[in-house]
Amino acid sequence: MAKLNLSPKILDVLDFGTPSAERDISRGLEKYFVESPAYHRVRSGAKTILMGNRGAGKSAIFQVLARRERAAGSHVIELSPEDYSYELLSSTMAAESAGSWAKQGAYAAAWKYLIYVLVMKALARKGMRLTKNGGRQIHNYIRDIHGAQQLGPLSLLVSYLKRLEAVKIGPIEAGVRTRELDRLYQLEEIQNLLPALRKVLDNQRVVVLVDELDRGWDSSEDAKAFVSGLFQACVSINALHQNLRVYMSLRQELYDDIPALYDDAQKHRDLLEKISWSEDSLLELIARRIRHSAHENGFAVDALERAGDRACWSAVFAPPPPGKGRDGTFGYMVDRTLYRPRELIQFCSEALEQTRARRSKLPVPYSAIERSEYGYSAERTKDIAAEYRSQYPGLLSVFEVFRSRPAVFGREELELLCLELACGDVPTHGTGSWLPSCDPNELIEILWRAGLLTARASGEGRFLGSHQVQHLNLAAVRRFRVHAMFHASLGIGAAGAGSAGG
């Protein structure tokens, strides 16, 4: 295959996009978006609960889905962090211990009420007072009940929760309380409108997207009920009509942190779509961005458009010196990710900036990758620890224990280190709520799930991380390795740095 030689001027305009899908959508994300099988299952409505780690591409799927649904004439309702606040919920709502107050069911009812009202508001804005088949009925309800109110989504949700709370723990006799609660849980206020809504939905489509539930997550009683209640509401509402679809995205850590949600998800596993990436799909993602960036800036190179993904990469990134990374520069860089698009985009962008700063030329030299690696590694180490701050506070101080140690550990050596951590013989900070109760095997599992450790399942096999294989019998693993993404930040030697996944 002939090597592609790009114009030196491309270096000035080359752009891999932003790590944020919300900003990237206005810069052309839809044009270079990788339409994975996961995206198609979500777009078809077969999967409505999107799950993945931070930076895996959940928001990108939602942003593209929203844009394409609008282009097709659908009504799209997007709920983002501005529309909910865990801190406000915790300070506003009474605790479950205050009385007979099972919050998950209350939040599920409140979510259903909120979403149905938002859907009817969106439809009523389209001149439905003149339509037949239920449109007038819905319009009249929105006009009479919500016309004068300009409550935002969070206020509307909280107002319904407060109505439930007042009955649950208020001074009301048992018989009246039971009837009133049944009325609220059954959404009596809007229940008679649902047949009319079905008729309207025969000819109109509405898509509701609830994203970034992890923003401000505090693992509180209300936060957990908020998310698990939303899950129940999604399942219920999606059964109303095929032209009404409610989607929610969940970070893996939130899913693991909510026992009630896990129990519900087992009953509806067919609705869950877990996002995962492979080396090939990550290479395609970067190659698409290279082609788009060149084309949008007036460098429509026919050879680049026709070239395979590997050739696109090689036109921008020079190969490493012998022995530095398997499979060329791409292998070196992808081995320093947890297979999340945001990570690879960040690493590539920082190497590109290093190249510009040194006034080098394309392809990006390996030295630029080396110079950018420490900053990238340090940021990712902090970010990964921060992802688990609710479940495992102080995790960064556990990561720091591996500083300047060898990259590879035998099982006995790693178990001893984990035992010393749990017993406090090796000091850490802010870990008192969970670390002392961990036995060595549990701590190894936590560090593998978080991405710090990779494991070699067989004597001569590759070291594999949780981003590469979902299930691994860690109890049978004899050798572990600190993932290469953490090496530069933790001052771990480069010996064996070319090993995949480590």
Sheet strands side by side (includes 453-456): 408-410, 479-482, 453-456, 463-464
**Omega of the bond leading into 363 within 30 degrees of 0 (cis):** yes
Give me 56's structure tokens: 């895996």
Tell whether the torsion through CA atoms of 238, 243, 244 and 249 is positive or negative: positive
Reported residue count of the chain is 502
**Selection from 330, 329, 249 nearest residue 285 by Cα:** 330
8 vs 6: CA distance, rounded Å: 6
189 vs 196: CA distance, rounded Å: 14
Q: What is the pLDDT of residue 498?
A: 39
H/E element, 38 = helix 37-44
DSSP-derived pairing of the beta strands 244-251 and 49-52: parallel
H/E element, 274 = strand 272-274
DSSP, collapsed to helix, strand or coil, labels residue 453 as: strand
Radius of gyration of the chain from Cα atoms? 26
316 vs 14: CA distance, rounded Å: 9
Give me 234's structure tokens: 């999604």
Which residues, 6+ apart, have CB-to-CB distance to 268 below 8 Å?
49, 235
429 vs 127: CA distance, rounded Å: 59
Three-state DSSP string of 103-129: HHHHHHHHHHHHHHHHHHHHHHCCCHH
Termini Cα distance of the chain: 30
Q: What is the pLDDT of residue 261?
A: 79
Q: CB-hemisphere CA count at 13 Å for 473?
A: 4
502 residues of the chain, pLDDT tens digit each: 457 777 778 888 888 988 777 788 878 898 999 999 999 999 999 999 999 999 999 999 999 999 999 999 999 999 976 656 776 676 666 665 555 456 888 899 999 999 999 999 999 876 555 556 678 889 889 988 887 667 788 888 888 888 888 877 665 655 556 787 888 889 999 999 999 999 999 999 999 999 988 777 788 888 888 889 999 999 999 999 999 999 999 888 888 888 877 777 778 889 999 999 999 999 999 999 999 888 877 776 677 778 899 999 999 999 888 877 677 899 999 999 999 999 999 999 999 999 999 988 889 999 999 999 999 999 999 999 999 988 899 999 999 999 999 999 999 999 999 999 999 999 999 999 999 999 999 999 999 999 999 999 877 788 999 999 988 999 999 999 999 999 999 999 753 333 445 5
Domain boundaries, the chain: 37-274, 278-388, 395-489
Sheet strands side by side (includes 244-251): 75-79, 206-210, 244-251, 49-52, 272-274
Contact (Cβ atoms closer than 8 angstroms) between residue 205 and residue 248: no
Contact (Cβ atoms closer than 8 angstroms) between residue 250 and residue 289: no
Tell whether the torsion through CA atoms of 271, 274, 275 and 277 is positive or negative: negative
State pTM to two decimals.
Answer: 0.89
What pLDDT digit, counting tens, does each position of 155-193 carry?
Answer: 888 888 888 888 776 656 555 567 878 888 899 999 999
Q: What is the pLDDT of residue 155?
A: 85
Q: What is the pLDDT of residue 258?
A: 84
DSSP-derived pairing of the beta strands 479-482 and 244-251: unpaired
Give me 61's structure tokens: 């799927």
377 vs 490: CA distance, rounded Å: 9
Q: What is the pLDDT of residue 100?
A: 46
399 vs 408: CA distance, rounded Å: 15
